[in-house]
């Protein structure tokens, strides 16, 4: 590119530091945008079909085929799901620090497909399956051998490891296709998260309607084989879109950056901060522009950390950090209270794939409500609220999450009432002790599933966008992993709650709330307890939300410097 590179020509290139796979700058008209996102969204439909084809009915496979009890099978599901949502921390680190999002995803997806093939083999090969047992009393069934259990769970945890590299990076890859410095693309990114989650629940709906039916009525071999084929198709779709993707270069370990800031601030805790933040250490803005990175101005939030940028003592990376490094660390730390507030709702969501299923249905209908709610929210409610609040999103991200949390209270109260009615029918029809089917239609459970779907349209979409949006540019994968980690902790919390309540309520020879025979259990009490926990969690969330300060938008603070982002590149380099 010549020195007379015009400003108009520069604007044809993306200004957010995105490049192609060879490291060349991106012409906005050639790559990214919705064209690239279509491949990512279609991938997610098939991948979610594969994942929920396993998850949705897993608790029933563990009880019916591996002959595990209610508490053991539910906890095994939540422990596995929890692990799968904690490994994204590792995947985010590898992507942000070393391989980048695309290559981390490619390697992880190969492991993912391997795990799905192994899982399909465990339910198809006779020697890897325990003998069938049709008795209601699991104690009379021959338990699965150590080899059968070991191979099955090895396959499951291979999937958990693989999702650590796919989950935090695939949605981030999709969001990266929109340039934050272009007004039109910025508005599309806001809409992307709604349609991203729409694709997730479209795949989930197919899994819960079609695949669950196949597993129950045709066989587990085909029921797991179809998700494996679906995953293979999703990968073909994703790789077909490679020529259209924009990429972000890895920018170093986010954990190392944060550790340096914290240590540098602690080492200089006795040093007084200057009155003028301009005296703090920072690189020239041109250096950021040339590297395709972003400079962040100093703020007064978590002011103690500003001491890491005081020019005092040695100039080593562990003694002196830039203002931008300090502010990036602040952004990640400020989100932790919101992160904590997401643990309880994630534990509520865990009930959908465990106790809600065990209540009497393998047909999860909450996804249909979710799909309708997302379309209504994106196409209508957002526009109405935007005209009223002047917020481009209609309502703020934290307000959207708050609506979802409020609905969780109602969901668990409804679930408790519905379960009380189901138990009454069990007593009235003499199936209280036998554990046989209660003569109630599946639609008895529809209210709690439908409400969960509406809640997800607010909570899940708002949460995923919040942690991506509020993370610094160099730590987007880590920010996305924050959202996923909430599910991991929530599922482990669900295991602790379920196991603890089960043991506690059996003390002293009492009957217990959660038994293998749900007709003799008291899940209504358990759901009421979860509703109470949701109330306390909502109060905590409102408190930390009042204290939270949104980060400054980079397209405002870096508008001028980013004009030179394309310098040094030829117009021909994109060909």
Q: pLDDT of 243-275, one tens digit each?
A: 999 988 887 788 888 999 999 999 998 888 888
pLDDT tens digits, one per residue of 389-407: 555 555 688 988 999 899 8
- DSSP at 340: H
Question: For position 363, what pLDDT does the model report?
Answer: 30
**Residue 556 resides in a domain:** no
Whether residue 262 sits in one domain with residue 211: no
Q: Measure the CA–CA gap between 222 and 219, rounded to whole angstroms.
A: 6
At residue 296 the predicted structure's pLDDT band, cuts being 50, 70 and 90, is confident
Considering the domain boundaries, does residue 575 fall inside one?
Answer: no
Q: If you average pLDDT over each of 39-48, 199-208, 310-319, 367-376, which comes out highest?
A: 39-48
Show which of 251, 283, 308 is a domain's final residue.
251
User: DSSP state, 307?
Assistant: G
Task: Report percent pLDDT > 70 for the chain.
Answer: 80
Give the span between the Cα atoms of 350 and 543, in whole angstroms: 25
- Tell me if the pTM is above 0.95: no
Q: What angle do CA 296, 300, 304 make, to 5 degrees?
A: 105
Q: Which of 251, 278, 299 is the last residue of a domain?
A: 251
Is residue 373 predicted with pLDDT exceeding 70?
Answer: no
**What are the helix (H) ranges across 125-253?**
146-175, 183-206, 212-217, 220-240
- pLDDT score, position 364: 34
177 and 298 both lie in a single domain: no
Judge whether residue 3 has pLDDT over 50.
no
Does 146 lie in the same domain as 38?
A: yes
- Domain membership of residue 266 as a residue range: 254-327
Is 375:201 a contact under the CB 8 Å cutoff? no
Average pLDDT of the segment spanning 446-461: 78
194-242 confidence digits (pLDDT tens): 778 778 778 877 887 788 788 888 888 998 999 899 899 989 999 999 9
Radius of gyration in angstroms for the set of CA atoms belonging to the chain, rounded to a whole number: 26
pLDDT at 553: 58
| Residues 276, 336 within the same domain | no
The CATH number of residue 224's host domain is 1.20.1250.20
Residues 521 and 377 in one domain: yes
Could you give the number of structural domains in the chain? 3
Chain-centre distance of CA 19, in angstroms? 26
**537 and 516 inside one domain:** yes
pLDDT, one tens digit per residue, over 337-351 is: 999 999 988 887 776
| E strands present in 52-97 | none
- Is the same domain home to 451 and 403? yes
- For residue 13, give the 3-state DSSP assignment: strand
Question: Which range among 44-48, 521-525, 538-542 has the greatest average pLDDT?
Answer: 538-542
Tell me: do 211 and 320 sit in the same domain: no
Residue 554 lies in a domain: no
Domain shared by 131 and 209, yes or no:
yes
3 in a structural domain: no
Confidence at residue 392, expressed as pLDDT on a 0 to 100 scale: 54
Residue 144 has pLDDT above 60, yes or no: yes
323 and 184 belong to one structural domain: no
User: What is the per-residue pLDDT for 555?
Assistant: 45
**Does residue 553 form part of some domain?**
no
* Separation in Å, CA 23 to CA 100, 108, 208, 329, 344: 12, 22, 41, 27, 42
What does residue 320 show for φ and ψ, rounded to 5 degrees? -140, 120
Say if CB 413 and CB 528 are below 8 A apart: yes
Q: Name which of 180, 171, 192, 166 is nearest 18 in CA terms.
A: 180
Position 5 in a domain: no
Inside any domain, residue 566: no
Task: Return the number of other C-beta atoms located less than 10 Å from residue 126's C-beta.
Answer: 6
Among 38, 76, 571, 96, which Cα is nearest to 332's?
A: 96
511, pLDDT greater than 90 = no
Last residue of one domain, picked from the residues 277, 302, 327:
327
Do 224 and 275 reside in the same domain of the chain?
no
pLDDT bucket at 24, cuts 50 / 70 / 90: confident
Establish if 506 belongs to a structural domain: yes
Domain shared by 427 and 494, yes or no: yes
């Amino acid at each position: 590119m010549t020195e007379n590179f015009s400003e108009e020509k520069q604007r044809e290139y993306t200004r957010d530091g995105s490049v192609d796979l060879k490291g060349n700058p991106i012409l906005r008209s050639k790559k990214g945008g919705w064209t690239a996102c279509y491949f990512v969204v279609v991938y997610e439909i098939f991948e979610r079909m594969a994942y929920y084809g396993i998850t949705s009915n897993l608790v029933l496979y563990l009880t019916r085929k591996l002959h595990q009890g209610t508490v053991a099978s539910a906890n095994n599901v939540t422990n596995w799901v929890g692990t799968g949502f904690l490994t994204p921390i590792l995947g985010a680190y590898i992507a942000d620090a070393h391989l980048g999002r695309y290559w981390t995803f490619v390697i992880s997806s190969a492991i993912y497909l391997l795990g799905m093939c192994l899982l399909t083999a465990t339910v198809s090969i006779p020697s890897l399956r325990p003998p069938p047992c049709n008795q209601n009393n699991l104690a009379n069934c021959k338990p699965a051998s150590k080899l059968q259990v070991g191979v099955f769970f090895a396959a499951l945890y291979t999937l958990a490891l693989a999702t650590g590299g796919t989950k935090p990076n695939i949605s981030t890859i999709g969001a990266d296709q929109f340039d934050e410095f272009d007004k039109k693309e910025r508005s599309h990114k806001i809409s992307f998260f709604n349609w991203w989650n729409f694709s997730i629940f479209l795949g989930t709906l197919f899994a819960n309607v079609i695949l669950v039916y196949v597993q129950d009525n045709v066989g587990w071999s085909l029921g797991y084989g179809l998700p494996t084929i679906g995953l293979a198709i999703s990968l073909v779709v994703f790789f077909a879109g490679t020529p259209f993707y924009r990429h972000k270069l890895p920018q170093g370990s986010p954990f190392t950056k944060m550790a340096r800031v914290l240590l540098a601030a602690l080492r200089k805790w006795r040093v007084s901060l200057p009155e003028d933040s301009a005296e703090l250490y920072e690189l020239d803005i041109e250096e950021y522009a040339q590297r395709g990175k972003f400079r962040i101005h100093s703020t007064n939030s978590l002011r103690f950390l500003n001491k890491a940028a005081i020019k005092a003592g040695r100039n080593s990376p562990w003694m002196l950090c830039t203002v931008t490094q300090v502010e990036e660390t602040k952004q990640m730390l400020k989100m932790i209270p919101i992160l904590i507030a997401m643990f309880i709702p994630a534990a509520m969501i865990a009930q959908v794939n465990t106790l809600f299923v065990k209540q009497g249905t393998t047909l999860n209908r909450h996804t249909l409500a979710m799909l309708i709610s997302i379309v209504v929210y994106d196409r209508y409610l957002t526009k109405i609220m935007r005209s009223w609040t002047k917020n481009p999103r209609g309502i703020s991200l934290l307000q959207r999450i708050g609506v979802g949390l409020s609905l969780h209270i109602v969901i668990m109260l409804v679930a408790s009432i519905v379960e009380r009615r189901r138990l009454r029918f069990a007593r009235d029809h003499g199936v209280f002790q036998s554990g046989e089917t209660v003569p109630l239609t599946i639609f008895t459970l529809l209210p709690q599933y439908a409400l969960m779907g509406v809640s997800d349209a607010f909570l899940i979409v708002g949460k995923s966008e919040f942690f991506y949006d509020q993370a610094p540019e160099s730590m987007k994968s880590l920010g996305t992993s924050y959202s996923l980690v909430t599910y991991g902790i929530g599922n482990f919390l669900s295991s602790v709650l379920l196991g603890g309540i089960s043991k506690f309520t059996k003390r002293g020879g009492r009957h217990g709330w959660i038994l293998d025979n749900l007709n003799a259990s008291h899940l209504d009490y358990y759901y009421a307890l979860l509703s109470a926990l949701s109330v306390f969690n909502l109060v905590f969330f409102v408190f930390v939300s009042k204290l939270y300060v949104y980060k400054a938008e980079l397209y405002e603070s870096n508008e001028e410097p980013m004009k030179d982002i394309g310098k040094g590149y030829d117009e021909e380099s994109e060909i």
